[in-house]
Amino acid sequence: MPLDRSAIGRVLPGRSLLVTRTRLRDFAEATGQTDPVYTDVEAARRAGHRDLPVPPTFLFGIDLAGPHSFGYLDELGVDVRTLLHGEQRFTYRAVAHAGDELTATGRISDIYQKKGGLLEFVVKDTVVADQHGAVVAELRSVMIVRNGPVAEESE
């Protein structure tokens, strides 16, 4: 059954995250950041930052920090066994730092089909703003739903 295109334009619940030094250091380590600007406060300050800066792609994790990260897909009736991550794009407007409270507000901006409906695409645009309301970044993610038989897990 095709996804409900009336969901296009739906604003999703916002999620907030207090950016801590520990969280940034853990992310930098997990993603292989070797520049000390992402782990050492003094190195960050020497580079002109007020504190540890948020590393690239960290902002994607704001949505993942809370429960029901993909609740919007559940509401569309998507079976997660049919889901592929198709695209992730970041447009940075400002640098966020440790101590900032970031809020991500998403919106389903498009739903479309390809391959005669075998593939459906859900486009979500997200604006991330800091505690002062300044836009830090704009994100776009595209999730792909494979329609057709669902492979059962083998034992």
- What is the tally of structural domains in the chain? 1
pLDDT of residue 35: 95
Which residues span the domain enclosing 87?
5-19+53-146
29 occurs within a structural domain: no
113 occurs within a structural domain: yes
**Over its length of 155 residues, how does the chain's per-residue pLDDT go in tens digits?**
789 999 999 999 889 999 999 999 999 999 999 999 999 999 999 999 999 999 989 998 888 877 777 888 988 999 889 999 999 999 999 999 999 999 999 999 999 999 998 999 999 999 999 999 999 999 999 999 999 765 555 44
Please give the C-alpha separations between residue 112 and each of 12, 17, 67, in angstroms, as whole numbers: 19, 31, 27
101 occurs within a structural domain: yes
Contact assessment for residue 130 and residue 150, using Cβ atoms and an 8 Å cutoff: no
CATH number at residue 106: 3.10.129.10
59 occurs within a structural domain: yes
pLDDT of residue 65: 77
* Among 139, 110, 116, 141, residue whose Cα is nearest residue 126: 139
The residues pairing with 145 across neighbouring beta strands, listed in sequence order, are 83, 120
The Cα angle at residue 136 between residues 132 and 137, in degrees rounded to 5? 145
24 occurs within a structural domain: no
pLDDT of residue 152: 58
40 occurs within a structural domain: no
38 occurs within a structural domain: no
Both tokens of 145, joined, read 């739903």
132 occurs within a structural domain: yes
